[in-house]
């Protein structure tokens, strides 16, 4: 699940930065958030984000 | 989300079970009904089924007891239910909510509430909380207002024009939600939380190694090594100073031995000076004693003469005192004889009791009187004599003894001799000390003493530095062990992850404003487009949506008109409809649009234009209308987009309202 408009803005903002991050991680995080939008989802969402940050770094 | 069926049971004016089936195709579904026939109740039933609560036009929650059908209540059936069938992301879903109570009380209805969600025949939520979470993901409550709205409530949307009102802020949040802005905020906040958790992990790891990372420990180790070297140098330097001072002390001691005789002579001279001074003091005191003796000498000279005078006075005094004492004795005797004479006569008659004795007493009495008479001239005792005698006795004790002068003379002579003798020795010693620095030994001794003190201080400092050096060696060893234990890779990885997470959260943070602005412009453009389509006049250029989603009309001359400058309530409603239409088009959520009496405040011309626009609002549009606001001839404006047509029919208090299908064009019924 993803939103092209949101993702486009994220990628453009990232590209303008001096030290951009891997755009794929932005896509993955956005996808996690859209699948877990509720307050009750926060713990699970944060765990997934942490996991992909760790994985991307590896 | 697309609703295919609504099933009501004992809800509002609908007694027993009723249902509405919507065709699966795209288009407008019309539900006709006059006032009180159940239009608003159908919309409320959907909202109650979705969220378990319904708000009235004042924003207050309608109690469950008011939702139960009156005929059911009359029957003693305190149970009502709503079920919605809908398609969502390719799945066929059925959401059911029902409640029942034994007593007609709000609390009982709330306790008795149950809900469930079935997807493709499989139950995916069976409790209230599970259902709530599922529905919130499909159509969140706070955006439902843009999909299920009441024409009479459009005034609430017009609150957007009052930029400072609370309603406007709530609406602004809902608008941001429908546009998907909270996704970015949530992502940013989650990233902050991940960053915080990583920092906690790092802190925990660092605590295990004493609160410092590898680099800090390495720096500490380096510092410790440097300190050890510095302290070693310092000890060496201190030892050098100690050695140097001890050598100087030894040199001074040797010199002191060499000049010891001078020192002894100097000491001797001081001793002789002191002795002479002491003898002279003693001589002075003897002279004072002699002076005192001389001042009392006249007493010694006069003492023999005084003694002679006193002796004569004593003799005279003793003679007078002998006669005086005799007279006193005779007076006592006379008194006794008088008593004896009185006793020789009877006390009452005066007759003589013993004539012989009386005679004897009377004779003795007369003789005594004669003797007393002879002693009449004797004077009183001489008191001058006694005073003089006492003074003389006192003076005798102060008389100079004859040998005292001799003793003093002897002592003075002895002192003079001793002084002379000491002065002679002094002369010899002084002869020896001519041209000699007699103070040198003392100076040497003073310096030796000072230098010994300095050596002591230096030794103390050296000892303290040696102790510190010992501690530094200990620290160095501990740091060595810690450095050996540290997993440097883990610390670096965590640090890099924190930095990376910060960079990602910065991207999300920066994107919020960019995305928000972009979406705002998009909504503004879409709203302008819709406004042009549904407004009959063409005296404006565009709609303007400010930072807070406040709406204004921009005229062709470029003037920005705010709400106060608009001319009618209908105008406000058109602007609000344009905004809702735009939001539906720009929304991140796909859902049907349910509109309850949307044309009530519009004139015929605007009503027709809105009708023409309706099919474009959403894939599924459901409009609740009265016969007055939507007539048969108005169907032409929908240009064949009507896919179903229902009428609500009220059949009296007992039966309530019925839903009658009048036509069903699109898809299967």
B34-38, B43-47, B129-133, B290-294: which has the minimum mean pLDDT? B290-294
Q: CA-CA distance, B497 to B198, in Å (whole number)?
A: 8
Q: Using CB atoms, which residue from A30, A40, A49 is nearest to B194?
A: A49
Q: Across the interface, do B183 and A37 touch by the CB < 8 Å criterion?
A: yes
Q: What is the predicted pLDDT for the residue at A57? A: 63
The reply to whether A22 touches chain B by the CB within 8 Å rule is no
Q: What is the predicted pLDDT for the residue at B346? A: 81
Q: CA-CA distance, B311 to B385, in Å (whole number)?
A: 10
A50–chain B nearest CA distance, Å? 6
Flag whether pLDDT at B163 surpasses 60.
Answer: no
pLDDT in tens, B551-575: 778 888 888 776 666 656 677 778 8
Asked, for residue B98, whether it belongs to a domain, the answer is no
Residues in chain A within 8 Å Cβ distance of B194:
46, 49-50, 53
Q: Across the interface, do B182 and A34 touch by the CB < 8 Å criterion?
A: no
- What are the Cα distances from residue B492, in Å, to B185, B198, B213, B478, B489? 29, 12, 9, 22, 5
Q: CA-CA distance, B411 to B281, in Å (whole number)?
A: 13
- What are the Cα distances from residue B617, in Å, to B61, B142, B561, B581? 28, 19, 26, 6
E strand or H helix at B27: strand B27-32
Flag whether pLDDT at B406 surpasses 90.
Answer: no
A vs B, Cβ pairs < 8 A, gives 88
Q: What is the predicted pLDDT for the residue at B554? A: 84
Q: Which residue has the tokens 């069976």?
A: B126
Q: What is the predicted pLDDT for the residue at B656? A: 92
Q: Using CB atoms, which residue from B182, B497, B511 is nearest to A57?
A: B497
Closest CA to B629 of B655, B583, B596, B588: B596
Average pLDDT estimate for B9-21: 95
Tell me the Cα Rg of chain B.
Answer: 69
The reply to whether A49 touches chain B by the CB within 8 Å rule is yes
The reply to whether A14 touches chain B by the CB within 8 Å rule is yes
Q: What is the predicted pLDDT for the residue at B95? A: 97
Average pLDDT estimate for B465-492: 83
Q: Across the interface, do B518 and A5 touch by the CB < 8 Å criterion?
A: yes
Q: What is the predicted pLDDT for the residue at B52? A: 94
Q: Using CB atoms, which residue from A13, A29, A42 is nearest to B510?
A: A13
The percent of residues above 90 in pLDDT, for chain B, comes to 40
Instruction: Say what the ipTM of the complex is.
Output: 0.97
The reply to whether A50 touches chain B by the CB within 8 Å rule is yes
Mutation target among A2, A15, A21 for the B interface, most CBs of B within 10 A: A21
Q: Quick one: pLDDT band at residue B431, thresholds 50, 70, 90?
A: confident
> Whole-number mean pLDDT of chain B?
85
Q: CA-CA distance, B279 to B302, in Å (whole number)?
A: 36
Asked, for residue B123, whether it belongs to a domain, the answer is no
Burial class (CB in 10 A: 0-12, 13-18, 19+), B554: middle
Asked, for residue B196, whether it belongs to a domain, the answer is yes
Q: CA-CA distance, A23 to B169, in Å (whole number)?
A: 34
Q: Which residue has the tokens 């008194």?
A: B335
Flag whether pLDDT at B619 surpasses 80.
Answer: yes
Asked, for residue B589, whether it belongs to a domain, the answer is no
Asked, for residue B504, whether it belongs to a domain, the answer is yes
Asked, for residue B221, whether it belongs to a domain, the answer is no
Residues in chain A within 8 Å Cβ distance of B51:
none
pLDDT in tens, B313-328: 788 878 878 888 888 8
Residue in B with minimal Cα distance to A30:
B187
Q: What is the predicted pLDDT for the residue at B376? A: 65
Residues in chain B within 8 Å Cβ distance of A40:
133
Residue in B with minimal Cα distance to A26:
B504
A29-38, B272-281, B394-403: which has the minimum mean pLDDT? B394-403
Q: Across the interface, do B136 and A38 touch by the CB < 8 Å criterion?
A: yes
Q: CA-CA distance, B377 to B387, in Å (whole number)?
A: 24
B517–chain A nearest CA distance, Å? 11
Mutation target among B194, B516, B589 for the A interface, most CBs of A within 10 A: B194
Report whether B105 contacts B125 (CB < 8 A). Answer: no
Q: Quick one: pLDDT band at residue B116, thresholds 50, 70, 90?
A: very high
Highest-confidence segment of B113-122, B247-256, B374-383, B433-442: B113-122
Side-chain half-sphere of B603: how many Cα atoms within 13 Å? 9
The reply to whether A13 touches chain B by the CB within 8 Å rule is yes
Task: For residue B6, give both structure tokens.
Answer: 């609504």
Looking at per-residue pLDDT, the higher value among B316 and B485 belongs to: B316
The reply to whether A24 touches chain B by the CB within 8 Å rule is no
Q: What is the predicted pLDDT for the residue at B280? A: 93
Q: Across the interface, do B497 and A3 touch by the CB < 8 Å criterion?
A: no
Average pLDDT estimate for B10-21: 95
B28-32, B123-127, B534-538, B632-636: which has the minimum mean pLDDT? B534-538
In chain A, the N- to C-terminal Cα span, in Å, equals 24
Q: What is the predicted pLDDT for the residue at B92? A: 95
Residues in chain A within 8 Å Cβ distance of B141:
none
Q: What is the predicted pLDDT for the residue at B86? A: 96
- What are the Cα distances from residue A52, in Å, to A27, A46, B319, B392, B645? 11, 10, 149, 132, 51
- What are the Cα distances from residue A51, in Å, to A23, A28, A29, B205, B365? 16, 11, 10, 19, 157
Residue in A with minimal Cα distance to B129:
A40
User: What's the average pLDDT block by block, 10 residues per block, for chain A (58 residues)?
Assistant: 81 93 94 91 95 80
Q: What is the predicted pLDDT for the residue at B195? A: 92
Residues from B in contact with A at Cβ < 8 Å: 133, 136-137, 140, 180, 182-184, 186-187, 190-191, 193-194, 197-198, 493, 496-497, 500-501, 503-504, 506-508, 510-511, 514-515, 518-519, 588
Q: What is the predicted pLDDT for the residue at B461? A: 94
Q: What is the predicted pLDDT for the residue at B669? A: 34
Pairing relationship of beta strands B642-650 and B27-32 according to DSSP bridges: parallel
Flag whether pLDDT at B667 surpasses 50.
Answer: no
Residues in chain A within 8 Å Cβ distance of B193:
42, 46
Report whether A1 contacts B88 (CB < 8 A). Answer: no
Q: What is the predicted pLDDT for the residue at B160? A: 53
Report whether B630 contacts B30 (CB < 8 A). Answer: yes
Residue in B with minimal Cα distance to A19:
B503
pLDDT in tens, B602-613: 888 888 888 888
Asked, for residue B491, whether it belongs to a domain, the answer is yes
Residues in chain B within 8 Å Cβ distance of A3:
180, 183, 588
Which range marks the domain in which residue B495 is found? 192-211+486-508
Report whether B519 contacts A4 (CB < 8 A). Answer: no
Q: CA-CA distance, B567 to B557, in Å (whole number)?
A: 17
Q: Quick one: pLDDT band at residue B179, thresholds 50, 70, 90?
A: confident
Give the count of domains, chain B: 1
Asked, for residue B349, whether it belongs to a domain, the answer is no
The reply to whether A52 touches chain B by the CB within 8 Å rule is no
Q: Quick one: pLDDT band at residue B504, thresholds 50, 70, 90?
A: very high
């Amino acid at each position: 699940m993803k939103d092209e408009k949101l993702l486009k803005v994220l990628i453009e903002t990232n590209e303008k930065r001096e030290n951009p991050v891997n755009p794929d991680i932005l896509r993955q995080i956005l996808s996690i958030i859209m699948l877990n939008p509720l307050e009750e989802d926060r713990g699970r969402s944060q765990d997934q984000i942490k996991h992909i940050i760790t994985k991307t770094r590896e | 989300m697309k609703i295919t069926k609504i099933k009501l049971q004992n809800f509002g004016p609908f007694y027993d079970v009723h249902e509405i089936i919507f065709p699966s195709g795209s288009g407008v579904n019309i539900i006709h009904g006059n006032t009180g026939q159940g239009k608003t109740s159908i919309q409320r039933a959907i909202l109650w089924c979705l969220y378990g609560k319904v708000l009235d036009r004042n924003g207050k929650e309608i109690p469950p007891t008011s939702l139960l059908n009156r005929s059911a209540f009359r029957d003693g059936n305190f149970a009502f239910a709503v079920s919605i069938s809908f398609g969502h992301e390719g799945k066929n879903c059925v959401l059911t909510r029902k409640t029942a109570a034994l007593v007609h009380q709000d609390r009982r209805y709330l306790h008795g509430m149950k809900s469930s969600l079935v997807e493709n025949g499989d139950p995916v939520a069976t409790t209230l909380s599970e259902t709530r979470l599922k529905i919130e993901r499909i159509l969140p409550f706070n955006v439902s207002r843009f999909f299920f709205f009441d024409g009479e409530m459009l005034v609430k949307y017009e609150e957007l024009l009052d930029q400072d009102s609370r309603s406007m802020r709530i609406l602004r949040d809902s608008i941001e939600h429908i546009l998907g802005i909270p996704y970015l905020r949530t992502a940013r906040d989650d990233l902050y939380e991940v960053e915080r958790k990583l920092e906690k992990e790092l802190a925990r790891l660092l605590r295990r190694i004493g609160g410092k990372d590898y680099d800090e420990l390495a720096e500490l180790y380096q510092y410790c090594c440097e300190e050890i070297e510095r302290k070693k140098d310092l000890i060496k330097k201190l030892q050098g100073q100690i050695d140097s001072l001890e050598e100087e002390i030894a040199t001074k001691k040797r010199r002191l031995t060499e000049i010891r005789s001078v020192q002894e002579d100097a000491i001797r001279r001081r001793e002789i000076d002191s002795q002479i001074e002491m003898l002279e003091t003693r001589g002075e005191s003897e002279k004072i004693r002699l002076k005192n003796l001389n001042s009392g000498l006249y007493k010694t000279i006069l003492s023999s003469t005084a003694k002679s005078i006193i002796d004569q006075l004593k003799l005279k005094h003793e003679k007078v005192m002998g006669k005086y004492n005799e007279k006193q004795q005779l007076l006592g005797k006379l008194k006794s004889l008088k008593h004896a004479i009185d006793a020789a006569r009877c006390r009452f008659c005066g007759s003589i009791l013993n004539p012989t004795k009386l005679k004897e007493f009377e004779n003795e009495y007369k003789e005594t009187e004669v003797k007393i008479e002879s002693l009449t001239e004797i004077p009183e005792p001489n008191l001058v004599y006694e005073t003089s005698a006492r003074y003389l006795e006192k003076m005798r004790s102060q008389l100079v003894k004859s040998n005292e002068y001799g003793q003093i003379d002897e002592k003075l002579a002895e002192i003079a001799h001793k002084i002379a003798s000491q002065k002679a020795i002094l002369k010899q010693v002084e002869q020896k000390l001519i041209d000699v620095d007699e103070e040198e030994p003392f100076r040497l001794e003073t310096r030796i003493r000072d230098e010994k003190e300095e050596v002591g201080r230096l030794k103390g400092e050296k000892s303290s530095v040696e102790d510190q050096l010992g501690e530094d060696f200990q620290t160095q060893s501990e740091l060595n062990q810690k450095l050996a234990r540290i997993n440097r890779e883990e610390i670096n990885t965590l640090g890099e992850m924190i930095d990376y997470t910060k960079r990602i959260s910065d991207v999300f943070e920066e994107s919020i404003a960019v995305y928000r602005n972009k979406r705002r412009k998009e909504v503004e453009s879409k709203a302008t487009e819709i406004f042009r389509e549904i407004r009959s006049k063409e005296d404006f250029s565009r709609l303007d949506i400010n930072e807070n989603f406040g709406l204004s009309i921009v005229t062709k001359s470029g003037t920005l008109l705010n709400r106060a400058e608009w001319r009618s309530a209908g105008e406000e409603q058109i602007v609000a409809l344009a905004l809702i239409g735009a939001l539906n088009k720009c929304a991140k959520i796909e859902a049907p649009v349910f509109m309850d009496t949307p044309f009530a405040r519009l004139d015929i011309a605007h009503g027709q234009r809105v009708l023409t626009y309706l099919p474009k609002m959403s894939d599924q549009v459901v409009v609740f209308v009265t016969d007055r606001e939507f007539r048969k001839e108005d169907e032409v404006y929908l240009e064949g987009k009507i896919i179903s047509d229902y009428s609500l029919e009220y059949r009296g208090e007992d039966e309530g309202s019925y839903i009658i299908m009048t036509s069903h064009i699109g898809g299967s019924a």
